[in-house]
A and B are shown apart, each in its own frame.
Chain A
Amino acid sequence: MNHSPSARAFAYLLLAPAVLYVLFIVAYPLVDTVILSFTDAALKPETNWVGWKNYQKIFKANFDDVILRTFIWTFCSVALKMTIGVLGAVLLNAAVPGQTLFRILIMPPWIIPMAIGIFMWGWMYNGQFGMISGLLQNFGLSDGPIAFLGYGKTAFWATIVTDVWIGVPFVTLYMLATIQTIPKDLYEAAWTDGAGRFYRFRRITLPMIVPSLLTMSMLSLIFTFNSFDIIWILTRGGPSGQTTTMIIDTYKSGIGSYKYGEGSARAVMICLFLSVFCLAYYRLISRLNPVEAR
């Protein structure tokens, strides 16, 4: 019943609204970005074709610095999320009393409105009265107040920590779900043979979660690369541009200064990197789980 031409027509009919909607709101703007990037579009009424000028202009400025910073920021954040996520999943998988409660308690950073969590971090990073600086001083680890968002280096790490905070629950729960799919008999067999807990982790758990870990890392890389709210709320790319990633940079020139053409050129660069990541991701999932890539 589901292979005839009329079935096909029915399927297309069912799909049409969602596909058209996404084409209109995502695909059309994507094409528009590429077109705009070759123009001098701005607030003024007329728009002229300027060829590669926008691209030449952004690369003459410090765009390579921004790219490098974005990659370091993204890499550090993803590495931390994965490390904490795997450790967290192993801990939450341990059969100890309170397990269910602990699994619920790690969820809030992920579920609450992102911006509100970021406000709370804004206070935590406050030098005079915030928790981190306060506790460091109380424990004698710091001589005076540290305004984490006031200096380039600390602000860079502060935004990473907040990004990790938002990402960790999802990575942890995902890795936990993966660990739970590992057949129990593997562990029991190893256990009967006298394998210790750490040995079982290294020789069973780790190899079994590698595919999921790789998939999640790629996915996380893509999302982290797109991260906007955290940096915008905490530092707006400052101090002196030290937390300006590609997305923040695009927003500042395109929306902040109404340079649509130049901003679009920057957005196109982001899309180029994203498509490389996406291709890598698709190759990865089709190689790791051929069934899913049907």
Chain B
Amino acid sequence: MKQPRPMIDRYRWYELLGIYAGIFCLLFFCLAPFIEGFNVSLKPLSLLFSSPYRFWPENPSFEAYRTMWVSVPAFGRYVVNSLFVAGVVTALVIVLVVPAAYALSRFRFPGQSAILGGFLTVNMVSGAVLLIPLFRLMRSLGLLNTYFAMIVPGAAFLIPTAIWLLRAYMLRIPRELEEAAWADGASRFYIFRRVILPLATPGIIVTAIATFLGAYAQQFVYAVTFNSKTEYMPLPVGLFAFFGRQEVSWNELMAASFVGIAPALIVILILQRYLVAGLTAGAVKE
């Protein structure tokens, strides 16, 4: 990054000013709720409900981060539930998707494009449209008010994206190794397990991360509809119950939200490079 910028990328001062002003507006829009949420979490309740409005907290304190554990006694449980549900969903999706993506990237068979198109279509239907039959299905399977009520439908809707992501990755793995193994008399299953799996591991990891983030971010509609037990609630639904009360302790709610989104934010910081590449790969042509 030390080399001088090419002439074409040199900006005049007013162009730079315009670019930074634009970026500032964009970032302010994206981050304002977080800034405000953080400010709120630092304000004592008595100052929170005071007019006129003040942007910066007057006597900032981290009190709410302590008291929230008392006000939301199940908080730790909610976080664990969220991570657990997202983890199981990810494992399930990966187990189903790895062989499917391999089949779709390497073999030619009748119905192939129909299957790919079908998966793409599933992506277009949101789970919210199918809640009525899914509710009846969960009830007849006896899964209502269990972790499975959140895991089973959640995984189904994450499969299509995962297949497209991983298939795109596998298409780029050279075929020569498989062909060499085949010529040496290795079985198809052996090739899949010993040749493809190790080569596809980076792609599988990216897919798993994308799936986990999706599963962690979208825990709401199934959890709110198919589960009413506090002990199984994931974080968003647990906080939603808190949100619905008459007297909302907003500072504690915001503190709890920040602790809840911390894992996602840390993941962004560590993996941002892979995230952008991975999550847009399914959509952008190579």
Contacts and interface: CB of A to CB of B under 8 A. Distances in A.
Interface of A: 1-3, 6-8, 10-12, 14-15, 17-19, 21-22, 25-26, 28-30, 32-33, 36, 84, 87-88, 91-92, 94-96, 102-117, 119-124, 128-131, 133-135, 137-138, 145, 165, 168-170, 172-174, 177-178, 181, 187-188, 191, 197, 212, 215-216, 219, 222-223, 226, 228-229, 232-233, 247, 250-251, 254-255, 260, 263-264, 267, 270-271, 274, 277-278, 281-282, 289, 291-292, 294
A178 B244 CA distance: 42
A139 to B, nearest CB: 11
Interface of B: 5, 8-9, 11, 15-16, 19-20, 22-23, 26-27, 29-34, 36-37, 40, 48-55, 82, 95-97, 99-100, 102-104, 106-110, 113, 115, 117-119, 121-122, 124-126, 128-137, 152-153, 155-157, 159-160, 163, 178-179, 182, 188-189, 192, 213, 216-221, 225, 235-237, 239-240, 243, 250, 253-254, 257, 260-261, 264-265, 267-269, 272, 275-276, 279-280, 283-285
Given A14-B99, A123-B36, A113 B115 contact: no
Which has the most chain A C-beta neighbours within 10 Å: B15, B130, B188, B220? Answer: B130
A107 B272 contact: yes
A255 B93 CA distance: 27
A95 B269 CA distance: 21
Given A113-B235, A113-B264, A229-B221, A18 B96 contact: yes
Given A91-B23, A114-B217, A277-B124, A135 B133 contact: no
Given A10-B188, A18-B97, A131 B55 contact: yes
Give me the 4 closest cross-chain CB pairs, A-B, nearest first. Answer: A134-B53, A115-B236, A226-B126, A25-B156
Q: Is the interface of B mostly helix, strand, loop or mixed?
A: helix
A103 B131 CA distance: 36
Contacts of B113: 294
Given A7-B107, A181-B284, A15 B115 contact: yes
A104 B243 contact: no
B225 A91 contact: no
A122 B48 CA distance: 15
A260 B236 contact: no
29 contacts: A1-B179, A7-B109, A8-B107, A11-B103, A11-B107, A12-B103, A22-B118, A22-B156, A22-B160, A96-B19, A104-B272, A105-B30, A114-B236, A116-B236, A116-B260, A119-B243, A120-B33, A123-B40, A124-B36, A131-B36, A165-B29, A173-B276, A174-B284, A222-B124, A233-B220, A247-B126, A264-B132, A271-B129, A274-B129
B169 to A, nearest CB: 16
Contacts of A292: 285
A191 B236 CA distance: 51
Contacts of A109: 30, 33
Contacts of B132: 33, 36, 250, 254-255, 260, 263-264, 267
A25 B160 CA distance: 13
A173 B265 contact: no
Contacts of B15: 197
Which has the most chain A C-beta neighbours within 10 Å: B31, B97, B124? Answer: B124
B236 to A, nearest CB: 3
A168 B156 contact: no
Which has the most chain B C-beta neighbours within 10 Å: A25, A95, A113, A292? Answer: A113
A33 B130 CA distance: 7
B129 A120 contact: no
B129 to A, nearest CB: 5
Contact of B257 (A17, A120, A229): A120
A282 B134 CA distance: 27
